[in-house]
């Protein structure tokens, strides 16, 4: 996952004076880097009003009665360990957090590290399985695939979140897969789709090689989750449907993250520089449903076909005029291009009949380096402009994504110049 440098280990600091100086210097250095999305003026006005006007009112009777009720409601929904500790250090809620601290917070050799999830195990395993099987050497790696198959099956979420889903603001999760392990519990559209693709591929191999396939009912549950996550515009977000208004992003207090207050599948140009287009989630959903339809053609056939059609139109709609797609979960335009092309092809389009695929191929070819590879800098993500790595160095990942996209599009058969 994404590890963040927090600061030097306290044990290594030799004196209080040195530690204060080092800390101030580190904070000043990283404060600028961490200011990814400066908050708008409306937040300055809002927070100042709350602090100087509303806070004094709520601190005295009768406002404190309303405040007490509001805080009780907030604490019923809280997931933050620090809030539970402030409320009651001896509470059961706080104690339940403690065993999971090491999942996301630890001391490394160069300081404290943190991550937003307990890993990426399921995601990595699914792509590894797909890679193994694509070589047609599955039987030679039977033991590896058997263990991976079992892990994927064990990682599927088998029940919805307990209680009233509407009250807890939760989407259905039965049948889905999370980013990491079943303990994570938060299913996502693309992880569910990639896991479904993997288990469907494994089901085509011999039982003696990869073990028992996933139960049919669990496959149907996975399809149900995917179908339930499609928004009205045809796109897929990550954890849930888009169910609020885009203006609430104006009160996003996180200066290190943008486009996080609601889960929405495409860009809303409410603030300068916003660019949130989940071509990846939508593409994965198309690919998974297409694979499923080939093996179970009669199961919810009309719903699946309609879903695929709408999702493909969404991918075409969010393509930039230059033929690119912005990748939100990888670096960046090569990653988005790979998913965009794969999704459109899975939906039944081809290089010959789809202008979007041709534009996407032309875009990727325009970014090929003189060395023959592709090398895209992480700066493409914040700047929203394709940026090469320093020195125009190629990178294996960007090159692989571009090559996979161009090969799947059939561009190599059409280009006689030997560009790829």
Confidence label for 272 from pLDDT (cuts 50, 70 and 90): very low
For residue 273, the model assigns a pLDDT of 39
Within a domain: 95: no
Taking only the tens place, the pLDDT of each residue in 364-398 is 999 999 999 999 999 998 889 999 999 999 999 99
Within a domain: 358: no
Taking only the tens place, the pLDDT of each residue in 184-204 is 889 999 999 999 999 999 999
Taking only the tens place, the pLDDT of each residue in 254-264 is 776 777 777 76
| Range of lowest pLDDT (9-13, 37-41, 120-124, 163-167) | 9-13
Q: Is 192 helix (H, G, I), strand (E, B) or coil?
A: helix
Examine the pLDDT at 244 and tell me if it is beyond 70. Answer: yes
For residue 50, the model assigns a pLDDT of 85
Confidence label for 271 from pLDDT (cuts 50, 70 and 90): very low
Within a domain: 43: no
Report the distance separating Cα 386 and Cα 141, nearest Å: 38
Confidence label for 74 from pLDDT (cuts 50, 70 and 90): confident
Report the distance separating Cα 98 and Cα 150, nearest Å: 28
Within a domain: 328: no
For residue 80, the model assigns a pLDDT of 78
Report the distance separating Cα 396 and Cα 379, nearest Å: 17
Per the CB < 8 A criterion, the answer to whether 150 and 217 are in contact is no
Examine the pLDDT at 331 and tell me if it is beyond 60. Answer: yes
Report the distance separating Cα 363 and Cα 134, nearest Å: 26
Taking only the tens place, the pLDDT of each residue in 132-157 is 999 998 889 999 999 999 999 999 99
Report the distance separating Cα 89 and Cα 92, nearest Å: 9
Taking only the tens place, the pLDDT of each residue in 202-213 is 999 999 999 999
Per the CB < 8 A criterion, the answer to whether 264 and 285 are in contact is no
For residue 241, the model assigns a pLDDT of 87
Greater model confidence, 346 or 255: 346
Confidence label for 20 from pLDDT (cuts 50, 70 and 90): very low
Per the CB < 8 A criterion, the answer to whether 329 and 280 are in contact is yes
For residue 44, the model assigns a pLDDT of 85
Percent of the chain at pLDDT exceeding 90: 54
Give the pTM. Answer: 0.82
For residue 291, the model assigns a pLDDT of 98
List the domain range (segments joined by +) for residue 168: 119-236+273-316
For residue 63, the model assigns a pLDDT of 79
Examine the pLDDT at 290 and tell me if it is beyond 90. Answer: yes
For residue 192, the model assigns a pLDDT of 98
Taking only the tens place, the pLDDT of each residue in 89-101 is 999 989 998 998 8
Catalytic residue among 190, 221, 259, 263: 190
As given in the structure block, the two tokens for residue 415 are 């280009």
Within a domain: 63: no
Within a domain: 291: yes
Percent of the chain at pLDDT exceeding 70: 85
124 is catalytic: no
Within a domain: 342: no
Per the CB < 8 A criterion, the answer to whether 120 and 1 are in contact is yes
Within a domain: 182: yes
* Mean model confidence pLDDT for the chain: 85
For residue 354, the model assigns a pLDDT of 96
**CATH code where residue 147 lies:** 1.50.10.20
Domain count, the chain: 1
């Amino acid at each position: 996952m994404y590890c963040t440098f927090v600061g030097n280990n306290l044990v290594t600091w030799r004196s209080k004076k040195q530690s204060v100086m080092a800390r101030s210097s580190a904070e000043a250095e990283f404060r600028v880097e961490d200011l990814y999305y400066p908050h708008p003026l409306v937040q300055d006005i809002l927070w100042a009003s709350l602090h100087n006007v509303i806070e004094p009112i709520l601190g005295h009777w009768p406002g404190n009665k309303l405040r007490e009720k509001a805080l009780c409601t907030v604490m019923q929904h809280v997931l933050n360990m620090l809030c539970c500790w402030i409320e009651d250090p001896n509470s059961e809620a706080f104690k339940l957090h403690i065993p999971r601290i090491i999942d996301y917070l630890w001391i490394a050799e160069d300081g404290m590290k943190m991550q937003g999830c307990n890993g990426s195990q399921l995601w990595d395993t699914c792509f590894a399985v797909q890679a193994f099987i694509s070589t047609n050497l599955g039987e030679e790696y039977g033991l590896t695939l058997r263990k991976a198959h079992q892990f994927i099956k064990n990682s599927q979420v088998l029940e919805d979140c307990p209680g009233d889903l509407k009250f807890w603001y939760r989407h259905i999760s039965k049948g889905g897969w999370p980013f990491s392990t079943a303990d994570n519990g938060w299913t996502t559209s693309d992880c569910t789709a990639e896991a479904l693709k993997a288990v469907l591929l494994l089901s085509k191999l011999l039982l003696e090689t990869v073990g028992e396939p996933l139960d049919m009912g669990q496959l149907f549950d996975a399809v149900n989750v995917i179908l339930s996550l499609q928004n009205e515009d045809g796109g897929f977000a990550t954890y849930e449907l888009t169910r609020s208004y885009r203006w609430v992003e104006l009160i996003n207090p996180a200066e290190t993250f943008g486009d996080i207050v609601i889960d929405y599948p495409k860009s809303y140009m409410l603030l300068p520089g916003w660019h949130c287009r989940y071509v990846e989630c939508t593409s994965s959903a198309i690919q998974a449903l297409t694979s499923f339809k080939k093996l179970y053609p009669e199961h919810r056939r009309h719903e699946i076909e309609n879903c695929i059609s709408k999702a493909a139109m969404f991918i075409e709609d969010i393509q930039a005029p230059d033929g690119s797609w912005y990748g939100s979960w990888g670096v960046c335009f090569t990653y988005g291009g790979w998913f965009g092309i794969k999704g459109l092809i899975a939906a039944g389009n081809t290089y010959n009949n789809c202008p979007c695929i041709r534009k996407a191929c032309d875009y990727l070819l325009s970014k090929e380096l003189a060395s023959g590879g592709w090398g895209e800098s992480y700066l493409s993500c914040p700047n929203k402009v394709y940026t090469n790595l320093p020195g125009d160095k190629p990178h294996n990942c960007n090159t692989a994504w571009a090559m996979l996209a161009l090969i799947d599009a059939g561009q190599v058969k059409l280009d006689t110049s030997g560009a790829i």
